[in-house]
Chain A
Amino acid sequence: MKILIVDDFSTMRRIVKNLLRDLGFTNTQEADDGTTALPMLQNGDFDFLVTDWNMPGMTGLDLLKHVREDERLKTLPVLMVTAEAKRDQIVAAAQAGVNGYVVKPFTAAVLKEKIDKIFERVEG
């Protein structure tokens, strides 16, 4: 399982990376915004994308839209981990095709639950 973690704050990337490692996902890579992440996704065989929303360059929502438009990437499971907490925003992310939505600050248990749920649905 190869996972790409996208967040402009290195601390948050590290937290997510550590939590994923504790959940048994050790093959992770990092990017600091959508502009860097998109070519990585297009050129690498990632199985899962964890992205923040509010980032300079390309936002997580735009990254999600690009992923859904890309013929090869459109089925990639995407989990949004973000401080954006408005109902309109969550609805917009859902409409853009997000697979899970976690609001910051979050706990390891919540992250695990959402990831499990996404893979249950993808595999099932």
Chain B
Amino acid sequence: MVDVNLDNKDNQVGSEIRSLAENMLEQLEQGDIGKAVALVNDLNQLRDRTLYNEIGRLTRALHESIKNLNVDTVGAASDITETTDKLTYVLEMTDKSANRTMDIADAGGPLAGAMGDRAAELSARWKRFMKREMNTSEFRELSRDIDEYLSSSVKDSSEIKKQFSEIVLAQDFQDLTGQVIHKVINLIRDVEGRLVTLVSMAGQVDQITGINHEFEQSTPAPDSGPDINPEGPQTDSKADGVVSSQDDVDDLLSSLGF
């Protein structure tokens, strides 16, 4: 739907229209229909002229700004391809780091477990010795086992220590992916700014030409019952309808009879 409202935009145009209209009324009052009709034509021409001028001006501005957007998005286009690569890199880095950490934990856990088990076993035998419940040959065996345990635990604990520092090193992804994510954020911010300029420019064209867009009324989604879509992690745990902890989940479920 298109209607024209010129009078509020441009003072000069407005006063021109007013003088034409007043002139027209005057002619009508004087009974000169012919002149009045001619003035209606003048009004039409004025409208067309103003409209075309304004549209021309804005189209140029819009074109310029699209061109600007393009010029920079030629950069941004490659940036965006690069961004996809960068995000893939983030995904790979976090994946690698998580698996490396878990590999180390998988290797170190049993090592620490075995050390503890062996110590517990030796400790039980040592207690028997302290209570003088051990004969000489058993004691000789115990001494040998303890000696063996001490040297193996020196080796194992230094291995575990090495694994701990490897776990710390595996966290380097936070720094590396963080930098990449910063770059991506900056790019998005830049593109967003340009798009906002473009949208406001397009809005001005609409205003001048009096175009009203009929936006579809967003009707609330019908109550589809338990058909609910996943949304991924909630980044704001204080938002409406979002639980903030496992305790909240448990409370909610128990209120439902769980």
Q: Enumerate chain A interface residues (CB-CB to B < 8 A).
A: 10-11, 14-15, 18, 53-55, 59-61, 82-92, 94-96, 101-104, 106, 110
Return 28 A-B CB contacts under 8 Å, by A number. A11-B98, A11-B99, A11-B102, A14-B98, A14-B102, A18-B102, A18-B106, A54-B232, A55-B230, A59-B229, A61-B226, A61-B228, A83-B233, A84-B231, A84-B232, A85-B244, A86-B243, A87-B241, A87-B242, A88-B241, A89-B231, A90-B252, A91-B252, A92-B225, A95-B225, A102-B249, A103-B249, A110-B246
With a cutoff of 8 Å between Cβ atoms, the chain B residues found around residue A89 in the complex are: 228, 230-231
Cα distance A85–B234 in the bound complex, in angstroms: 7
Interface residues of chain B, those whose CB is within 8 Å of chain A, are 94-95, 98-99, 102, 105-106, 225-234, 237, 241-246, 249, 252-253, 256, 258
Q: Tell me the minimal C-beta distance from B39 to chain A in angstroms.
A: 64
Option from B229, B244, B253 in Cβ contact (under 8 Å) with A94: B253
9 tightest A-B CB contacts, nearest first: A54-B230, A83-B233, A92-B226, A92-B228, A11-B98, A95-B226, A85-B234, A53-B230, A87-B241
- Cβ B246 vs Cβ A106 within 8 A: yes
Q: Flag if A87 contacts B243 (CB, 8 Å).
A: yes
User: Contacts A11-B99, A85-B242; is A94 near B258 (CB within 8 Å)?
Assistant: yes
Instruction: Give chain A residues whose Cβ lies under 8 Å from the Cβ of B233.
Output: 83, 85, 104
Q: Is the CB of B249 within 8 A of A84?
A: no
Q: Which residues of B contact A110 (CB under 8 A)?
A: 246
